[in-house]
Amino acid sequence: MVVALGDPHNFGRKVTLLGNGLIQKPRSLLLESIFLNSESKFRQSFDTKIVNFFQHEISDSVFPNLNFSKLYPPIYDGEVTKVFVEPVHEITSEILIKMGIIIGFCSFYGIGDLHDQNMVFGKIPNSKQIICSPLDVESIFSLCRLPSQTLLIPSKYATFEACGLNAPLRLLSSIIEKRHEEVTKIVYGYIKTIDLLKSDFVLNNLLISSLPLDTPIRVIIRNTQDYYNFFKNQLEYQFTMAERAQLERGDIPYFYRIIFKKDIMWLKEDSKDWHSTSTKLTGFELHKDLKEIIETSLQMGVHPAINDLELAAPLQIFRNLFPRNHKDLESSFKDLKIKSSINNIIIMNMKGFEWSCNY
C-alpha cells in the first residue's frame, strides 16, 4: 500500500511511504545520504572522530544507517529505506551527550526545520545503538547563531511538543530533583562538538567536497504554519508573487538555492528537472543570515557565527531546557561547571574560561 505523507510541494508532490519498506521523496536525497549512510566518507570520518573526541563517553553513531537510491540531480524522486527503532524508556549519560552532539552538529552546519516529525529517536533493533538524528536534511548551510533556529529545542520558534528533541526531552522531564545535572551533560556534548567541528578543516572540506556544484539546498523564508493559516483564512500576509502562485495551486511554497549561490529559486512549471523550469525569487528582502554563504567560509576554515555558537548557544540550551529555579544550584560534568542562581543568572565555566547571562 502507498501512503502519502507530509506537506504538498512543487505541484502537489508529497513524501510517499511505499509498500516495500522504502520512502520516496520528491527531491534529491544527496544531502541526507552524506549523513545517514554509513558508507559516506564524511559520515565515516565524523563517526570515528566524534567517538574518539569524547574518549568513548559515547560508543557509536548518533545517526542511523540507511540505504539510498536515485540521489543525484536532476533526478528529484529519491528513495530511502524506512528507519525502524524501538522505544527508549530511560535516559542515560550517553543519550544526553548524544543530544548535545546533534544540537552542536546541526547548529554548526546550519541544518534547520528539525521539528519533531523530521527527527528520529530510539534504539536500533538487535543492537545497543541509540540514535538521535535528523531524517529530513533539506535546509543546510544557513547561518545559525543559536540552537533554537534549528527547531531542536523548545523556544519561541517551536513548542515543547513540536521541537525536534521532544522524544528524549519527555524522558528528561520525568527527572525532577537533578534535572540541572542532566541538562549539564547535554550542554557538555554540545560544547565539545562545536570544539571539534570548528577546528577540523579536513572534516568540513570533506563535507563540502562531497556535494556536486548543482546540489539544491532548501531555503525556508517563512514558517509553514503561516501558509496553513492562509488556507484557513485566519491571517493575511504580504506574500510574494512566488508564494501566492504556489499557494493558489494548493502547494506549501518551496524555495531553494544551489550550493555556493545566493539566488533563491522556485519551481514555476511542473517538471522533475528543476534546473530547466525554475525561476528566481524576486520582491523579497532576504534576512541577512540567509545572505551569508557559510559553505564558502567553512572551506576557508572559519565559521561566521562561531562566537555566538561558543558562548551564547550553550547558555540558551541550559536556559531553555532547565526552568527557572527557586534556589541556587550548581552542577558539573567533566570539565564543565554550571551555576544557576535564584537571581536568574547562569554562569558557565569550561576549562577555566567563564561566561554568563540572565534568564
Q: How far is CA 159 from the centre of its chain?
A: 16
Q: What is the pLDDT of residues 113-135, one digit of tens each?
A: 999 999 999 999 999 999 999 99
| Percent of the chain scoring above 70 in pLDDT | 92
Least confident of 173-177, 284-288, 340-344: 284-288
Assess whether pLDDT exceeds 60 at residue 267.
yes
Question: Residue range 138-160: average pLDDT?
Answer: 93
In this prediction, residue 290 carries a pLDDT of 57
Question: What does the alpha-carbon distance between residue 82 and residue 340 come to, in Å, rounded to a whole number?
Answer: 42
pLDDT tier at 291, thresholds 50, 70, 90: low
State pLDDT tens for residues 302-322.
Answer: 899 999 999 999 999 999 998
What pLDDT digit, counting tens, does each position of 170-193 carry?
999 887 678 889 999 999 999 999
Q: Which residues contact 230 (CB under 8 A, 6 or more apart)?
A: 236, 237, 239, 247
Among 271-280, 326-335, 346-355, whose mean pLDDT is lowest?
Answer: 271-280
Average pLDDT over residues 29-53: 94
Beta bridge partners of 13: 9
Give the best-scoring range by mean pLDDT among 11-25, 38-52, 212-226. Answer: 38-52
What mean pLDDT comes out for the span 141-146?
92
Rg of the chain over CA atoms, in angstroms?
A: 20
Torsion angle of the four alpha carbons 226, 230, 234, 237, in this order, in degrees rounded to the nearest 10: 70
Domain boundaries, the chain: 216-286
Q: Which cell goes with 65? A: 544507517
Residue at 171: amino acid letter = L
